[in-house]
A = this chain, B = another copy of it.
């Protein structure tokens, strides 16, 4: 029930989107993110809900998770998205749908990535794996860290490793930097 722990109604609620849910230690990662949020006077809501009955049939369970996530998003005031590339040239698919939802709702969107590799380079790596004619498709190269629709949606610039060195996938260093900037924006 950690995802639903009570918070002061005065604290802005931040939805913690990201592929963190696929980590072997997802519960601990969610807890660490919530603790950092509290440090900055924010109430973190992580889409990792141990109250869900994981023994449900797959076709019922996935929709229950979807509805559960959407309920958490609705009660959140903003999103901090972990946009670290995940199984492809770009950020995690579910995270991107959620980011777009917040943009469509007119709520602030913040994001970070632990990767220092640019989008065009990752796109070329993926294109090289593809068969023809898919390999011949255009490469989006604006010198950005990910697709321009992601970049454009951000309320503040994407938080990236300032030294150009990628951090481990589960590092919370960039999350912390992003959180600090988001907290400043939300309280300013």
Contacts and interface: CB of A to CB of B under 8 A. Distances in A.
Nearest to A119: B93
A24 B96 contact: no
Interface of A: 19, 21-24, 26, 58-59, 61-63, 65-67, 69-70, 87-94, 96-105, 123, 126-127, 129-130, 133-134, 136-144, 146-153, 168-170
B137 A19 contact: yes
Contact of A103 (B58, B97, B138): B97
A96 B87 contact: no
B152 A63 contact: yes
Contacts of A105: 104-105
Contact of A62 (B66, B102, B142): B142
Number of identical monomers bound together in the oligomeric complex: 2
A94, A141, A143: most-surrounded residue (chain B CB, <10 A): A94
A149 B88 contact: no
A133 B25 CA distance: 12
Given A88-B90, A129-B129, A59 B149 contact: no
Given A22-B137, A137-B23, A142-B62, A147 B97 contact: yes
A141 B137 CA distance: 29
Nearest to A84: B134
A153 B169 CA distance: 27
A92 B149 CA distance: 11
